[in-house]
Amino acid sequence: MTEQATVSTEGIVGLDEPKKMTREDWRKKKELEEQRKLGNAPAEVDEEGKDINPHIPQYISSVPWYIDPSKRPTLKHQRPQEEEEGQYSTIGEWYKRGVQENSVSTKFRKGACENCGALTHKKKDCLERPRKVGARFTGTSIAPDEHCQIQLDLDYDGKRDRWNGYDPEEHQRIVEEYAKVDLAKRTLKAQKLQDELASGKLDKTEYEHNSEDEDEDKYADDIDMPGQNFDSKRRITVRNLRIREDTAKYLRNLDPNSAYYDPKTRAMRENPYYNTGMNPDEVGYAGDNFVRYSGATITMAQTQLFAWEAYERGSEVHLQADPTKLELLHRSFKVKKEDFKDEQRESILEKYGGQEHLNAPPRELLLAQTEDYVEYSRHGAVLKGLEKAVARSKYEEDVLNNNHTCIWGSYWKDGLWGYKCCHSMVKQSYCTGETGVTINNTDCVPFEEGLVEPQEEEEPKSLLEMHRDKLKEKKKKKKSKKNKKRDSDNSDSEDEEKKKEKLKKALEAEDKWVKHVEEIMQLEERKRPYNSLQEVKAPTEEEMEAFRMKRCRADDPMASFLGK
């Protein structure tokens, strides 16, 4: 049984499967490859007798297992493989569409569609409208058969040809249809204009003007092109792409702290070389703001803005179409605007007076001369002179008292706040400086314990004395237990009275606190006192009991009688 199994497996796998090379064979193979590369040994020869270049990499020279299992030296797998004739369909071959017009049957055939009579599909797949009486019973108006779909076996290029199966005659029919519709529209429009011209409703000049508009309508679809902003009021061409030869803005300075680059709008407003110390006049690019606010760009922008405003108010002006007319109109507008301002100013002064206040010198010359020099950058940062005033809140800040150099709350340790300058945890205390820091950070003896005089060292006791002391302590403990039993009865009654007094005081304090809270809630939110610096203590048992007794519960049926 085992011999038959081995024989069958050998027949399936094959006897010439690759064997594992030994270490010695592998070393000899590598030495032979080196000698061939140096030219000391002859090169390998393929089946056609051609030499194989020893410098070709192994992943190119090695034959895949599925092409040539015989493992002989060859480069045939790297050359174009010849295809057999008739293996694949031709590039122009495609599925046939439509019906077979030549072969039309006159009677119903067995196995055909019961609805239309075509032999190439069944009744459930029929696309024709369901007849009242099918072709199976009438035997008339049999539909022609469709073309049988041949299964094409396309090659690599045929599968990826996007125009394979495209019929140019179909597109030509669409073009001819639209041309006929356009010709019909033109003839109707020309006939309508001729009728209006003959009836006298239309002049000859208007007829010529309409013919010019007809030519302009040809290019109406090409107006709104990509890269342009087309509007009925204005039309601006926007260049959204940079030239590929230009250096990208974000590559001019690779420092991450340099000018910000916006990838969405491709804008870098600041100068990318501002932190390198280079002169902005010497660099090739100094930011979009530098280009935007240099030369005649500001006046150009003002003129464009004036053109838009004038167009909205009914003036037919355009910056690109009528630049001279727009410039003259803008100048006259500026003159009229200045004259109007002067007239308005003089009328106000005549009516209310106050010319002497306008002619007064500036406050710096009236009060005192100032030499404060402040120089700002284009972005508003102070280059020379005074710094900007820091915005402060309405609360007092940096208020130092009792010789402290830091505020209360600048130091924290073990859950307590204090002063950082002296590490004092007592508020409103006097600052002790560095000495206080050293004392608070060292484990020093408290002040009261330091005043206690050191006691003399006692002499060591003997074992007999230690035994006698233990017996005395036991007798004292027994006496103290008896005395505690007697005093416990008296102390219980005293504790109950003390608890009642404490609870009474807690109830009175709770009433005062509730009244205080009601008064605060009646005040406005801005006028309420600020008491967050008060010391917070844990409530006692009597205070908790008073809070529970005074707390109003909504589900209590007697809650409405508490205030009575």
State the angle between helix axes of 541-550 and 463-522 in degrees (0 to 180), rounded to the nearest 10. 30
Q: What is the tens place of the pLDDT at every residue in 488-522? A: 666 677 778 888 888 888 888 888 888 887 888 78
Q: What is the pLDDT of residue 206?
A: 60
- Of 272, 267, 266, 233, nearest in space to 252 by CA: 272
pLDDT of residue 451 exceeding 50, the answer is: no
CB 433 within 8 A of CB 406: no
Q: Give this prediction's pTM.
A: 0.25
Across 94-103, 172-181, 225-234, which has the greatest mean pLDDT?
Answer: 172-181
For the cut 70, the answer to whether the pLDDT of residue 6 exceeds it is: no
Is the pLDDT assigned to residue 447 strictly greater than 50?
no
For the chain, what is the mean pLDDT? Answer: 79
Q: Where are the beta strands (DSSP E) in 392-440?
A: 408-413, 416-419
275 touches 283 (CB < 8 A): no
Contact assessment for residue 334 and residue 342, using Cβ atoms and an 8 Å cutoff:
no
The pLDDT score that the predictor gives to residue 132 is: 92
Question: What CA–CA distance (Å, rounded) separates 496 from 542?
Answer: 12
According to DSSP, residue 413 is labeled: E
103 vs 447: which has the higher pLDDT: 103
Nearest one of 190, 214, 188 to 202, comparing CA atoms: 190
**Residue type at position 204:** K
> What confidence tens digit (pLDDT) does each residue in 141-177 have?
899 998 887 788 888 888 888 888 888 888 999 999 9
d(CA 468, CA 455): 24
Q: How many CB atoms lie within 10 A of CB 255?
A: 10
pLDDT of residue 497: 82
CA 360 vs. chain centroid, Å, equals 56
| Structural contact between residues 541 and 498, judged by C-beta atoms closer than 8 angstroms | no
Please give the Cα distance from 245 to 284 (Å, whole number): 14
Look at residue 491 in the predicted model and tell me its pLDDT: 67
Instruction: Output the pLDDT for position 469.
Output: 86
Distance CA 144, CA 99 (A): 6
Q: Is the pLDDT of residue 253 over 90?
A: no
- Token pair belonging to 481: 């237990």
pLDDT tens per residue, range 426-438: 888 889 888 888 8
pLDDT digits (tens, 9 = 90+) for 29-67: 999 999 999 999 999 998 888 899 999 998 888 888 877
Cβ atoms within 10 A of the Cβ of 323, count? 13
Residue 241: burial class (beta carbons within 10 Å; 0-12, 13-18, 19+): exposed
